[in-house]
Chain A
Amino acid sequence: MPLQKEDVEKIAHLARISLSEQDIPVYTHHLSDILIFVEQMNSVDTTGITPMAHPLDAVARLRPDIVSESNQRDHFQTIAPQVEEGLYLVPKVIE
């Protein structure tokens, strides 16, 4: 298997997902299967091919620099768990 238990723990930590001890082997197995599947691509010779940045063969359309959004703070904040003085409140973070 390409992934070890520690890899899965690290990925879970980076994604801020908590996994129980008994779930870890299951995820290790599933994620490894995905990697093994994708690994088949390595047999294709891609010399000289520009990697795609997007599955669609299209380019970005540019938007004119115009302010088109109005203030909808009250509307957005109806779904916020906690608000004070117009600010979204979150558990204290400080570096």
Chain B
Amino acid sequence: MTWETVIGLEIHTQLATKSKIFSGASTAYGATPNTQACAVDLGLPGVLPVINEEVVRMAAKFGLAIGAEVAPRSVFARKNYFYPDLPKGYQISQYELPIVNEGQLQIEVDDKEKTIAITRAHLEEDAGKSLHEDFQGSSGIDLNRAGTPLLEIVSEPDMRSAKEAVAYMKKMHSLVRYLEISDGNMQEGSFRCDANVSVRPQGQKEFGTRTELKNLNSFKFIEKAINFEIERQIDVLEGGGSVTQETRLYDAEKNETRSMRTKEEANDYRYFPDPDLLPVMIESAFLEQIKTNLPELPDEKKQRFMQQYNLSLYDASTLTSSRELADYFEKTVKASNSEAKLCANWVMGDLTAFLNKNNLEITDSKVSATQLAGILRRITDKTISGKIAKQVFDAIWKGEGDDADTIIEKRGLKQVTDSSAIEKLVDEVITNNPKQLADYKGGKEKLFGFFVGQVMKASKGKANPKQVNELLKQKLL
């Protein structure tokens, strides 16, 4: 039987505010335990939560960016459950009236675009952290994270493969960073995801029973966890069993998912409107002001890159995957006075390879956009070849010089364009390789490349490749 996978994602993104959603305690990451947990965060008697304006602004910004209606009136509710890292015995969240209603997000998978519908996005407070090691018979509770603002973004079950789920998550990650509403730091838990996964026979209308995979905090894990879960569910069904609706935890070390608890009490959160908080009203003037200040969004930028720079969908998507990368590319184009495609190839090729190898972000690149532009300018005006340019790039990366011209000068890398000098090299190579010459004349045309290579080698890579080609063609006739 052929099975179809159905995936919906819930993304929790931490909003990049200075203070908490309902209190004036700091949200800075990594502080000494419980030094950023105030009376409101601890749920001490007599305190009152007061909503942070910036949280409302950020959620509204997100709503506008996904083409959703930002609710003119939204309401906070209590979600009741007991856990030690939740001191009040309830989490303040939104239930019936979330701040952001239906919207959508475009993803690209295998060069095809697909629209994923977003059901809603609501505001809520994060819980604290429980530490289970090091305390004999006890758990240690750090409430610094309690009350940190979260935006929970819930998608429709529109994804049909782990690959689509990853594409959606990456796109959402890029969007919240473009909007500057979250730092998106996955190691610190600022951007995490739960996946609802089910399978059904191809063609069946009804959804199969789903399981929920918790706390997937890297792009690599989410793909692996979902793929494992799909296989597991298919095995269960093909073995004549049925899938239990439950929460499962992904174990990255063993690459498997494990049952956490069955969801038998799923509807027992007993949500009700929080009497401590009044409804949040958003006026159109507030929204208008946000709208005028929205940055260019990833999809708009992508479209513009395709038109303005004549780039392919793939190139444009890659270059706009983060705001910083897009800015770097545009700065390079502007400063280099070179073909956009040449700039795109260098940014996506050599530069990205160096960054990945050194585990660096674009903002930490050891070759700045201006420096790269300096290299590309010298390719464009034929001072150096593309191959030599790689040496120059490597030298700047290693700090051997501040700009391309200095390094070209210092190392004598200037391309040889003097045809008499090149001709001399060509003649030498032909004279020194009589056997290859005979074979070539005998019909082994592939040997042309051998001659080009020998001349380039003799010139230490500095001969203009185009001139070498032309001269060889004349001489080998």
Interface residues of A (CB under 8 A from B): 14, 16, 53-56, 58-69, 71-73, 76-77, 82, 84-95
B140 contacts which of A16, A53, A89 (Cβ < 8 Å)?
Answer: A89
Size bracket of the B interface: 35 or more
B 77-119 binary contact with A (CB < 8 Å = 1; else 0):
0001011100000000000010000000000000000000000
Is B261 part of the contact surface with A, judged by Cβ < 8 Å? yes
Q: How far is the CB of B140 from chain A (nearest CB, A)?
A: 3
A69 contacts which of B25, B140, B270 (Cβ < 8 Å)?
Answer: B25
Check A95–B36 contact: CB distance below 8 A.
no
Check A88–B140 contact: CB distance below 8 A.
yes
Contacts of B249 in A (CB 8 A): 95
Check A84–B135 contact: CB distance below 8 A.
yes
Interface residues of B in 47-69 (CB under 8 A from A): 50-56
8 smallest A-B Cβ distances: which pairs?
A68-B24, A87-B140, A62-B53, A65-B54, A69-B38, A86-B33, A53-B75, A60-B278
Is B469 part of the contact surface with A, judged by Cβ < 8 Å? no
A85 to B83, CA, bound (A): 21
B37 contacts which of A53, A65, A73, A95 (Cβ < 8 Å)?
Answer: A73
Interface residues of B (CB under 8 A from A): 17-19, 23-26, 32-39, 42, 44, 50-56, 75, 80, 82-84, 97, 130-132, 135, 137-143, 249, 260-261, 265, 268, 270, 273, 275, 277-281
Contacts of A73 in B (CB 8 A): 34-35, 37
Check A90–B84 contact: CB distance below 8 A.
yes
A91 to B139, CA, bound (A): 6
Known: A53-B97, A95-B260. A87 touches B26 (CB 8 A): no
Check B268–A14 contact: CB distance below 8 A.
yes
Check A71–B36 contact: CB distance below 8 A.
yes
Check B53–A65 contact: CB distance below 8 A.
yes
Q: How far is the CB of A56 from chain B (nearest CB, A)?
A: 7
A30 to B267, CA, bound (A): 24
Check A92–B19 contact: CB distance below 8 A.
no
Check A86–B39 contact: CB distance below 8 A.
no
Q: How far is the CB of B459 from chain A (nearest CB, A)?
A: 62
Q: How far is the CB of A7 from chain B (nearest CB, A)?
A: 12
Check A62–B42 contact: CB distance below 8 A.
no
Most buried by A among B26, B83, B140, B281: B140
Check B139–A53 contact: CB distance below 8 A.
no
Contacts of A90 in B (CB 8 A): 84, 138-139, 141
Chain B residue nearest in CB terms to A90: B84
Q: How far is the CB of A61 from chain B (nearest CB, A)?
A: 7
Contacts of A59 in B (CB 8 A): 278-281
Chain B residue nearest in CB terms to A65: B54
Check B25–A67 contact: CB distance below 8 A.
yes
B132 contacts which of A61, A62, A66, A92 (Cβ < 8 Å)?
Answer: A92
Q: How far is the CB of A60 from chain B (nearest CB, A)?
A: 4
Check B140–A66 contact: CB distance below 8 A.
no
- Interchain Cβ contacts under 8 Å between A and B, 15 examples: A53-B75, A53-B97, A53-B279, A54-B277, A59-B280, A63-B50, A66-B18, A69-B36, A85-B140, A87-B34, A87-B135, A89-B140, A91-B137, A91-B139, A95-B260
A73 to B223, CA, bound (A): 41
A12 to B428, CA, bound (A): 97
Contacts of B97 in A (CB 8 A): 53
Chain A residue nearest in CB terms to B38: A69
Check A86–B50 contact: CB distance below 8 A.
no
A16 to B37, CA, bound (A): 25
Contacts of B26 in A (CB 8 A): 67, 69
Q: How far is the CB of B356 from chain A (nearest CB, A)?
A: 36
A16 to B130, CA, bound (A): 20
Check A65–B34 contact: CB distance below 8 A.
no
Check B138–A16 contact: CB distance below 8 A.
no
Contacts of B17 in A (CB 8 A): 65
Known: A89-B138, A89-B141, A90-B141. A62 touches B34 (CB 8 A): no
A61 contacts which of B33, B50, B137, B139 (Cβ < 8 Å)?
Answer: B50
Check A65–B52 contact: CB distance below 8 A.
yes
A64 to B53, CA, bound (A): 6
Q: How far is the CB of A44 from chain B (nearest CB, A)?
A: 19
Check A88–B143 contact: CB distance below 8 A.
yes
Contacts of A14 in B (CB 8 A): 80, 265, 268, 270
